[in-house]
A and B are shown apart, each in its own frame.
Chain A
Amino acid sequence: MGLNNLILDNSGNWLVKGKFLMYKKYVNIPICFIEDDVYYVFLDVKLPKQVLKLTKELMKMNVEFYFTTPEYSNPKTKLNHNLVISQYLFAYSRPQFFYGFDKIGFDFIRNFKHWMEKEKCFHLLKENYDSILKKVVNRNWYDYYSNTHIYDCELDIREEFSVMYRDIQINRII
């Protein structure tokens, strides 16, 4: 078990430097690290394909892993669960991850729930969920030419997000 096992191809873009596994896209960007035998993947919208590949590999390895915000790659960032929760929700509202996780058969909401259980921060969910729902998912503008509201997110994502909070609560009970 180690980060060297997670180098997925021989392209030369993957690199282990310090405690991070990095991927080179113009510059080396941290993508994964291990802390207390738990894998943490940076849920970075800059590298959606690589994050999905890594998730698939971790699923195959059958190890405990969670996602986290790319801000934690900077050592001066202080630990804040609000950042991680909002990153979980924000990244899931992006079509690359929304359809990508579905394609590889990964239960994202379950993983999210497990992380919140581990960190005991369920009480922070509602506030972040409402914020993301309002500012990101339901963000729209009125098109006077066609007399319709144009949304930034697709209908599938909006429908999923409208019941997401309830799904997490149900997952918690089960």
Chain B
Amino acid sequence: MEDQKVIQRITSLRRGGWWRFKDVNNITRQEPMVQDFIGSSYNFMYKTYTSKRSDTKYKCKYSPNKNSNYYRDGDNREKQRVVFLKILKEYGIK
């Protein structure tokens, strides 16, 4: 399933003849195919861990704590950290 997703995404990159692509073997491709993108930055960018199964359907590629734009409600580690630093400053520890 994971492979299918990646192939699907890479296939969408295939464009017309005007677009030249240099693959990992330093070979310029006039009309790149799926195999030409393997090992390139596109390949790594389009990797996924999600599947159609219920347990991995909404799985994130990266930790949500890494992404600053990720909006989350409720209590989370970032908010707890801010509160914790405030308490430390109050007591003059930091």
Contact = CB atoms under 8 A, between A and B. Distances in A.
Nearest to B33: A27
Interface in B1-18: 3, 6-7, 10
Looking at B23, B26, B34, B39, which has the most chain A CB atoms within 10 Å of its CB? Answer: B26
B38 A70 contact: no
Contact of A46 (B3, B10, B39): B39
Contacts of A45: 24-25, 39
B45 interface: no
Contact of B25 (A25, A26, A46): A46
B7 A44 contact: no
A136 interface: yes
Interface residues of A, number: 15
Contact of A26 (B6, B23, B24, B27): B6
B29 to A, nearest CB: 10
A87 B34 CA distance: 21
B38 A29 contact: yes
Contact of B34 (A27, A90, A91): A27
A25 B26 contact: no
Nearest to A135: B26
B6 A90 contact: no
Contacts of B26: 86, 90, 136
B65 interface: no
A164 to B, nearest CB: 17
